[in-house]
């Protein structure tokens, strides 16, 4: 990709005014930069600025707009931030706009989770009153502002030299970031306020960037299929695929894109936050102390090398410390293993005592117990005095079934619309911060990925939404392409598909293995 960001800097040494050359200040500058317009706040300061530095300084330009004029040569300080604003998790990246080099990365919880852990509950909250919308908006903007300052500290960069931001988020997140009304998003037919990409002055949010900085919000496709999907399509260039390609962005709001025969189908599905550790009894994000990988010897496969007793389960904990919870990838692991070992039935029932398979190793069998409210649970780690046991409960399995079922049903409906089956897919792309850490075979085992897709055709594309935001930060051509992708995709409103409920109910049943 050619790096041609929206913002550029140009160092100029202008002739000082004289009787024979008394052009106005801005005209004088334009002789070096080409035609530009300046907003009133900058024009007010321009005469003093130019004279304070002897007419030698750096013009900060976007398109034909003068963002600022900085004394001296500051062309080596030109930064931007790219963000993936997830329903649960936000990731930001600080880039050098000249080289595209990434200088820092930061992630944080979306502070709106305390108002509801999925988009529907947030829409409900924000719709109650303008104050509540404002509450959600300002909490989000404040948290993003903190992340920008953190990124700048980490890279020893002044936030006054951050001139652009690019935001990819789902429809609801982009609306809440902009402070747009969302009532209409909470009702059929789920209509967004806008769909094209937006360029918004950063001071209108506001964010701690250069005072003349701009924020780019990705275009939306429609309904809940938002800018993060477009961004992911941009990053993976999926529309240019030469055979049927499926992309699944696994997050609280799951997105599914199917490209086939030059047609792009896009759907959103309410997967819930289980993959990000929420709504799971011992769930947590994939940070220090999280169990991120689990292997049961009964279903051990090549490559599953994890320390532990021979016939007992083996855990891998982020940071190598005592475990304090379980993150999404291990949740998929343990569910796959419990299905394989017969502790959990395809219908999702967790067995206890006599019901358990007879050939189950004792070390495993002893972990299945009746916990709180006689609910079945499977103990992963025994807590010390000051810490509770870490378990997977029957309720956790149900939660996962809902999440898996939502994505699986969406995939099946899109494939059906295109007249395809899983085996017809040339490639399956797994996107999302969480997606990168799941093991393909385990995800296929629980039905999260189509079981009939050849293992080698499944690829991780990382946080494609963040990557696309990086592209948009570095290239205005990428923004134009994003606009085309958004308008070229056909939005499929899954909830209004007459088959959805039936397909969903069936999709919640785990594959029989």
Asked whether position 15 contacts a second copy by CB under 8 A, the answer is: no
Asked whether position 480 contacts a second copy by CB under 8 A, the answer is: no
> Between residues 55 and 437, which has the closer beta carbon with respect to a second copy?
55
Among 6, 7, 14, 38, binds a second copy (CB under 8 A): 38
> Between residues 168 and 280, which has the closer beta carbon with respect to a second copy?
168
The number of residues that bind a second copy (CB under 8 A) is 47
End-to-end distance of the chain based on CA atoms, in angstroms?
Answer: 43
Max CA distance (Å), the chain = 101
Among 2, 19, 362, 386, binds a second copy (CB under 8 A): 19
Rounded to 10 degrees, the C-alpha dihedral 280/285/291/294 comes to: 70
Asked whether position 491 contacts a second copy by CB under 8 A, the answer is: yes
Asked whether position 43 contacts a second copy by CB under 8 A, the answer is: yes
Helix segments in 7-113, DSSP class H: 25-33, 40-52
Three-state DSSP state, 432: coil
Asked whether position 122 contacts a second copy by CB under 8 A, the answer is: no
Edge-first strand order for the sheet with 368-370 is: 368-370, 376-381, 390-393
Among 4, 31, 41, 301, binds a second copy (CB under 8 A): 41
Judging by DSSP bridges, how do beta strands 162-169 and 214-217 pair with one another?
Answer: parallel
> Between residues 27 and 362, which has the closer beta carbon with respect to a second copy?
27
DSSP state for residue 183 in the 8-state scheme: G
Among 7, 25, 67, 412, binds a second copy (CB under 8 A): 25
> Between residues 19 and 358, which has the closer beta carbon with respect to a second copy?
19
Residues 199-238 binding a second copy (CB under 8 A) are: 200, 204, 220, 222-223
Among 184, 300, 375, 436, binds a second copy (CB under 8 A): 184
Asked whether position 496 contacts a second copy by CB under 8 A, the answer is: yes
| Contacting residues for 498 by C-beta, under 8 A, at least 6 apart | none
Instruction: Please state, in angstroms and rounded to a whole number, the distance separating the CA atoms of residues 145 and 134.
Output: 16
Closest distance between a second copy and the C-beta of residue 83, in Å? 17
Among 208, 356, 493, 511, binds a second copy (CB under 8 A): 493
Among 80, 86, 92, 179, binds a second copy (CB under 8 A): 179
Closest distance between a second copy and the C-beta of residue 253, in Å? 17
Asked whether position 190 contacts a second copy by CB under 8 A, the answer is: yes
Asked whether position 498 contacts a second copy by CB under 8 A, the answer is: no
Closest distance between a second copy and the C-beta of residue 112, in Å? 17
Asked whether position 399 contacts a second copy by CB under 8 A, the answer is: no
DSSP letters, 316-352, are: EEGGGS---EE-HHHHHHHHHHHHHHTSB-TT-PBP-
194-199 contacts, C-beta under 8 A, 24 or more apart: 194/220, 195/219, 195/220, 195/221, 195/222, 195/486, 195/487, 196/483, 196/486, 197/227, 197/479, 197/482, 197/483, 197/486
Three-state DSSP state, 434: coil
Among 7, 26, 407, 507, binds a second copy (CB under 8 A): 26
> Between residues 190 and 218, which has the closer beta carbon with respect to a second copy?
190
For residue 92, the cross-strand partners are 83, 106
Closest distance between a second copy and the C-beta of residue 284, in Å? 35
DSSP state for residue 282 in the 8-state scheme: T
Among 10, 11, 12, 17, binds a second copy (CB under 8 A): 17
CA-closest candidate to residue 34, choices 61, 3, 71, 72:
61
Closest distance between a second copy and the C-beta of residue 50, in Å? 9
Edge-first strand order for the sheet with 290-295 is: 314-317, 290-295, 325-326
Give the interface with a second copy as residue ranges (CB under 8 A). Answer: 17-19, 21-28, 37-38, 40-41, 43-48, 51, 178-184, 188-196, 198, 200, 204, 220, 222-223, 491, 493, 496
């Amino acid at each position: 990709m050619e790096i041609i960001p929206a913002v550029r800097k140009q160092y100029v040494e202008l002739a000082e005014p004289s009787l024979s050359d008394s052009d106005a200040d801005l005209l004088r500058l334009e002789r070096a930069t080409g035609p530009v317009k300046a907003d009133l706040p900058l024009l007010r300061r321009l005469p003093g600025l130019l004279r304070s530095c002897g007419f030698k300084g750096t013009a900060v330009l976007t398109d034909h707009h003068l963002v600022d004029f900085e004394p001296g040569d500051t062309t080596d300080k030109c930064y931007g931030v790219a963000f993936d604003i997830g329903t649960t998790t936000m990731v930001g990246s600080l880039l050098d706009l000249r080289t595209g080099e990434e200088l820092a990365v930061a992630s944080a919880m979306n502070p709106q989770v305390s108002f509801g852990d999925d988009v529907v509950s947030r829409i409900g909250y924000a719709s109650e009153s303008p104050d509540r919308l404002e509450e959600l908006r300002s909490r989000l903007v404040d948290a993003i502002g903190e992340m920008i300052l953190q990124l700048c500290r980490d890279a020893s960069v002044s936030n006054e030299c951050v001139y652009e931001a690019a935001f990819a988020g789902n429809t609801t997140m982009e609306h809440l970031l902009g402070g747009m009304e969302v009532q209409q998003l909470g009702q059929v037919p789920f209509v967004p306020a806008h769909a094209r990409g937006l360029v918004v002055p950063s001071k209108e949010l506001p964010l701690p960037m250069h005072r003349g900085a701009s924020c780019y919000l990705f275009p939306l496709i429609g309904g809940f299929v938002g800018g993060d999907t477009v961004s992911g399509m941009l990053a993976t260039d999926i529309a240019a695929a030469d055979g049927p390609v499926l992309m699944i962005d696994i997050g609280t709001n799951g997105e599914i894109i199917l490209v086939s025969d030059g047609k792009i189908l896009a759907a959103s599905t309410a997967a819930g936050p289980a993959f990000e550790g929420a709504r799971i009894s011992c769930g947590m994000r994939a940070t220090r102390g999280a169990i991120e990988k689990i292997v049961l010897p009964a279903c051990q496969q090549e490559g599953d090398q994890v320390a532990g007793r021979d016939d007992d389960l083996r855990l891998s904990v982020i940071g190598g410390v005592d475990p304090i919870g379980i993150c999404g990838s291990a949740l998929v692991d343990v569910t796959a293993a419990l299905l394989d070992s017969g502790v959990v039935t395809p219908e999702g029932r967790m067995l206890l005592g006599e019901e358990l398979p007879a050939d189950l190793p004792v070390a495993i069998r002893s972990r299945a117990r009746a916990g709180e409210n006689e609910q079945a649970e499977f103990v992963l780690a025994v807590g010390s005095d000051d810490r509770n046991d870490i378990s997977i409960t029957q309720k956790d399995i149900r939660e996962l079934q809902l999440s898996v079922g939502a994505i699986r049903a969406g995939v099946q409906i899109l494939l059906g619309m295109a007249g395809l089956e899983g085996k017809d897919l040339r490639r399956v792309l797994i996107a999302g911060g969480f997606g990168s850490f799941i093991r393909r075979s385990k995800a296929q085992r629980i039905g999260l990925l189509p079981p009939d897709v050849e293992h080698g055709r499944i690829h991780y594309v990382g946080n494609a939404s963040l990557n696309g935001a990086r592209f948009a930060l570095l290239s205005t051509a990428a923004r134009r392409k994003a606009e085309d992708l958004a308008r070229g995709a056909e939005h499929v409103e899954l909830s209004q598909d007459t088959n959805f409920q039936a397909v969903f109910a069936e999709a919640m049943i785990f594959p029989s293995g």
